[in-house]
């Protein structure tokens, strides 16, 4: 239990660090999240609703489909923000909820790492090393 809490905190701090470095965003509450374009905001809300309904894997597939779409490619940095907020949202879920959705903390970590690589921040992920 303590190890999972530690992993949860490290993951959250990784996301916070990226948001601060790339977007100059400090800790924000869910209702304070703002996207520069309507499309990213709409996708984010839909991802959250799907996750709440227990469809985390489907939501993640939708995220990557959007990122690879013509529409999604227009908003590169905005979609980095979208992805980070989505994975941080998942990271805030309980272990029981994640397991009930056939999802894990390792998948959250892998998703963030994948997004970081996609947008050119892979070296930053490597600084967290094995502890992350």
| pLDDT tens readout for residues 57-107 | 999 999 999 999 887 777 678 999 999 999 999 999 999 999 999 999 999
CB-based contacts of 83, cutoff 8 Å, min separation 6: 63, 67, 111, 112, 115
The segment with the largest mean pLDDT, out of 20-24, 73-77, 126-130, is: 20-24
Please compute the mean of the pLDDT values over residues 109-121 and round it to a whole number. Answer: 90
Phi, psi of 94, deg, nearest 5: -70, 155
Top pLDDT among 32 and 101 is at 101
- Domain extent at residue 82: 2-131
- The answer to whether 97 touches 105, Cβ cutoff 8 Å, is no
132 alpha carbon, distance to own chain's centre: 15
The segment with the largest mean pLDDT, out of 17-21, 69-73, 97-101, 109-113, is: 97-101
Please compute the mean of the pLDDT values over residues 13-23 and round it to a whole number. Answer: 85
Number of domains in the chain: 1
2 pLDDT more than 60: no
30 pLDDT more than 80: no
Top pLDDT among 112 and 3 is at 112
Lowest mean pLDDT among 31-35, 53-57, 97-101, 110-114: 31-35
């Amino acid at each position: 239990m303590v190890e999972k809490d530690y992993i949860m905190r490290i993951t959250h701090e990784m996301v916070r660090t990226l948001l601060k470095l790339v977007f100059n965003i400090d800790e924000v509450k869910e209702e304070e999240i703002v996207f520069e374009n309507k499309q990213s905001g709409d996708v984010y809300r839909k991802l959250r609703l799907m996750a709440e309904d227990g469809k985390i894997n489907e939501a993640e597939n939708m995220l990557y489909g959007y990122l690879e779409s013509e529409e999604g490619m227009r908003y590169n940095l905005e979609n980095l923000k979208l992805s980070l907020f989505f994975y941080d949202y998942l990271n805030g879920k309980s272990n029981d909820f994640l397991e009930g959705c056939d999802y894990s903390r390792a998948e959250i970590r892998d998703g963030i790492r994948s997004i970081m690589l996609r947008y050119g921040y892979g070296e930053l992920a490597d600084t967290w090393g094995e502890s992350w």
